[in-house]
């Protein structure tokens, strides 16, 4: 009976997601009042949500509710295969404790113009612990009046049994040699038996923690004794981009060099950034960045989460004329690496620029300008707005999955994050 209940529950959470099409197995925010979602490892706010199985570390999820009241938020976990589809496992097979729990940690903002309630959660905890490695989706629901998805976040759990040795090279294709970066790597598995590497092992490679442009389903190209080589030619190749632009919003009292003006209006702050220019044909300029991430922080008060205020931030990108048949967006970790309506730019002929004014919490934000075919929300491209340069510093993450014959889920047996400069 328990087994049947568990099977039905995972069916509703997984296959039954078709009955709730608004739930997506990606990083996504579903409600307009949810802002500033962060998921990271312990107090290391710039880490990716990658955690070792049975390690003492904890994942931290935090977000703000701009309604400023207290709501009942519940959360659960969905175990996925290597390609982010719900696995065939029942929740009792990959979780111990409760299969659903409430977020009990919250506090109110103070000394801010924009009121909000700040929520946070750590995993694993005394209510819920994951017991298997692999891909997971953390789903948060608002249960105040009806069960509505609030946000989803991907994270991965690793049982580190292999070692990964990466190498960044120039692509063999001449037309990509100055603009793209190629990743080759070797996986060492001493003492760990893999009987059929080409059918049991797959690898994914991510650039700057992004899943939207990840190179997935890589199989070992060469197999040696306790060593697997993924030395493909022109397959694991990424557009290098340029170093990210930045917006330093950590102070509304003492603006930084890129802030043109700050104004407090009734019930809101407004901030104007200096106008940006396209960089597609500009030379490469080396500058340390966050590789697209953002950090919530304030220099005006002591409490970084509760006293960091919100502001409408005016971005502008100079363009003598509109780009034909193309939409322009702000893009980065602050947009969940999605093309979101609130970050879509509008062309203003009065100042010959694309403009938008999203609501952002005080902090430090990396961003880029990207384009997409008009009316589409996929395949962001920065070729026209930012350009690509091989020397750009990017972070890459390699994930190694293992599913032996007859197994019912993909084990994540290795993960390695490194800089293209290493």
Domain match, 6 and 77 both: yes
Domains of the chain: total: 3
Q: What is the pLDDT of residue 303?
A: 81
Q: What gap in Å lies between CA 309 and CA 326, rounded to an integer?
A: 33
| Measured distance between the N- and C-terminal CA atoms of the chain, rounded to whole angstroms | 54
pTM for the whole thing?
Answer: 0.92
As separate numbers, helices (DSSP H) first and strands (DSSP E) second, the chain gives 3, 31
Task: Kindly write down the DSSP assignment for every residue of 185-228, as one continuous string.
Answer: EEEE-TT---S-HHHHEEEEEEETT-STT-EEEE--SEEETTEE
The partner residues of 40 in beta bridges, in order of sequence, read: 60
State which of 128, 158, 188 marks the end of a domain.
158
Q: Which of 161, 10, 220 is nearest to 94 (CA)?
A: 10
Domain match, 171 and 150 both: no
Residue 385 lies in a domain: no
Range of the domain at 76: 2-158
Q: What is the pLDDT of residue 301?
A: 82
Q: Residue 387 has which token pair?
A: 């350009």
Q: Are 304 and 296 in contact (CB under 8 A)?
A: yes
Task: Kindly write down the DSSP assignment for every residue of 282-342, as one continuous string.
Answer: SPP------TT-EEE--SSSS-TTTS--EEEEEEEEE-SSPPTTEEEEEESGGGTTS--GG
Domain match, 141 and 174 both: no
State which of 158, 191, 207 marks the end of a domain.
158
Q: What is the pLDDT of residue 23?
A: 83
Domain match, 100 and 220 both: no
Domain match, 133 and 39 both: yes
Q: Where are the alpha helices (DSSP H) in 357-409?
A: none
Q: What gap in Å lies between CA 377 and CA 246, rounded to an integer?
A: 23
Domain match, 250 and 191 both: no
List of residues 6+ apart from 360 with CB closer than 8 A: 247, 249, 310, 311, 313, 334
Domain match, 266 and 308 both: yes
Q: Are 17 and 142 in contact (CB under 8 A)?
A: no
Bond prior to 124 in cis (omega within 30° of 0) = yes
Strand 310-318 to strand 268-273: parallel, antiparallel, or no bridges (unpaired)?
parallel
DSSP state of 114: S
Q: What is the pLDDT of residue 255?
A: 83
Residue 49 lies in a domain: yes
Domain match, 208 and 348 both: no
Domain match, 7 and 149 both: yes
CATH code where residue 45 lies: 2.60.40
Residue 287 lies in a domain: yes
- The CA-based angle 207-209-211, given to 5 degrees, is 85
Residue 387 lies in a domain: no
Residue 125 lies in a domain: yes
State which of 158, 186, 213 marks the end of a domain.
158
Q: What is the pLDDT of residue 7?
A: 39
CATH code where residue 183 lies: 2.60.40.10
Residue 190 lies in a domain: yes
Residue 306 lies in a domain: yes
How would you write the pLDDT of the chain (422 residues) with one tens digit per residue?
Answer: 333 334 344 444 444 443 444 789 999 999 999 999 999 999 899 999 999 998 899 999 999 999 999 999 999 999 999 999 999 999 999 999 999 999 999 999 999 999 999 999 999 999 999 999 999 999 999 987 788 999 999 999 999 999 999 999 999 899 999 999 999 999 999 999 999 999 999 999 999 999 999 999 999 999 999 999 999 988 999 999 999 999 999 999 988 889 999 999 999 999 999 999 999 999 999 999 999 999 999 998 878 889 999 999 999 999 999 998 999 999 999 999 999 999 999 999 999 999 999 999 999 999 999 999 998 888 899 999 999 999 999 999 999 999 999 999 999 999 999 999 97
List of residues 6+ apart from 307 with CB closer than 8 A: 109, 110, 111, 112, 298, 300, 301
Local structure of 411: helix, strand or coil: strand
Q: What is the pLDDT of residue 8?
A: 43
Query: Alpha-carbon Rg of the chain, whole angstroms?
Result: 22
Domain match, 257 and 364 both: yes
Local structure of 281: helix, strand or coil: coil
Q: What is the pLDDT of residue 368?
A: 98
Q: What gap in Å lies between CA 23 and CA 368, rounded to an integer?
A: 27
Domain match, 225 and 208 both: yes
Residue 200 lies in a domain: yes
User: For the chain, what's the residue count?
Assistant: 422
Domain match, 295 and 153 both: no
């Amino acid at each position: 009976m328990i087994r049947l209940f568990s099977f039905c529950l995972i069916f509703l959470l997984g296959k039954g997601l078709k009955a709730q099409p608004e739930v997506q197995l990606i990083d996504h925010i579903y409600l307009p009042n949810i802002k500033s979602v962060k998921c990271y490892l312990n107090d290391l706010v710039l880490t990716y949500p990658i955690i070792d199985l049975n390690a003492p570390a904890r994942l931290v999820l935090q977000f703000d509710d701009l309604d400023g009241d207290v709501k009942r938020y519940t959360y659960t976990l969905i175990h996925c295969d290597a390609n982010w589809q719900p696995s065939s496992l029942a929740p009792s097979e990959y979780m111990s404790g409760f299969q659903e729990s409430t977020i009990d940690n919250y506090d109110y903002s103070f000394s801010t113009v924009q009121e909000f309630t700040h929520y946070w959660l750590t995993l694993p905890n005394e209510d819920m612990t994951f017991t298997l490695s692999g891909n997971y989706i953390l789903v948060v629901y608002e249960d105040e009046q009806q069960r509505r998805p609030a946000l989803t976040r991907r994270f991965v759990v690793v049982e580190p049994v292999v070692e990964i040795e990466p190498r960044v090279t120039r692509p063999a294709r001449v037309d990509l040699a100055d603009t793209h970066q190629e990743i080759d790597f070797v996986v060492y598995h001493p003492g760990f038996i893999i009987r059929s590497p080409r059918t049991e092992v797959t690898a994914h490679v991510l650039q700057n923690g992004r899943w939207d442009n990840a190179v997935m389903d890589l199989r070992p190209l060469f197999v040696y004794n306790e060593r697997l080589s993924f030395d493909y030619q022109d397959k694991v190749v990424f557009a290098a981009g340029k170093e990210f632009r930045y917006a330093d919003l950590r102070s509304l009292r003492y603006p930084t060099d890129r802030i043109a003006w700050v104004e407090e209006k009734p019930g809101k702050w407004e901030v104007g950034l200096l106008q940006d220019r396209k960089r597609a044909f500009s030379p490469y300029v080396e500058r340390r960045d966050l590789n697209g991430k953002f950090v919530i922080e304030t220099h005006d008060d002591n409490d970084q989460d509760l006293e960091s205020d919100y502001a409408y931030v005016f971005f502008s990108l100079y363009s003598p004329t509109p780009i034909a048949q193309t939409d322009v967006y702000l893009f980065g970790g602050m947009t969940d690496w999605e093309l979101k309506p609130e970050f879509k730019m509008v062309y203003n002929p009065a100042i010959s620029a694309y403009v938008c004014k999203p609501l952002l919490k005080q902090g430090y934000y990396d961003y880029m300008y990207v384009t997409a075919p008009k009316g589409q929300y996929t395949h962001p491209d920065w070729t026209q707005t930012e350009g690509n340069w091989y020397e750009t510093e990017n972070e890459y993450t390699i994930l190694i999955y293992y599913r032996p014959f007859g197994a019912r889920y993909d084990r994540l047996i290795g993960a390695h994050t490194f800089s293209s400069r290493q």
